[in-house]
Amino acid sequence: MPYGQTAQLANLRPAWEKGRMPPTSRRSRDADRALRMARRHTTEAIETAIKCMRDETASWPERMAGVKVILQEGLPKKRDLIEAA
């Protein structure tokens, strides 16, 4: 059957009802809210990791955990980007 026949077009429905806006995001509102909260508190989280890393009274595993967080989240994920920097 050639493209655009009446039989083909009869079964088509709009993706959303008339008068309503199409969905703009597939993420839930809760996920969007969690991302916004995480972005707002990123600076504070990094500052806390730095304090942990620099705390001379803390044990070495605790200090290294702070270093690990900073390195994992602060550096680019792909090896080429690290070498380019």
> Domain limits of the chain?
28-84
Please give the chain's pLDDT, 85 residues, in tens: 566 666 666 667 666 666 676 666 677 788 888 888 888 988 888 888 888 888 889 899 988 888 888 877 776 677 666 666 6
Give the global pTM: 0.49
Contact 15, 22 (CB under 8 A): yes
Q: Are 63 and 55 in contact (CB under 8 A)?
A: yes
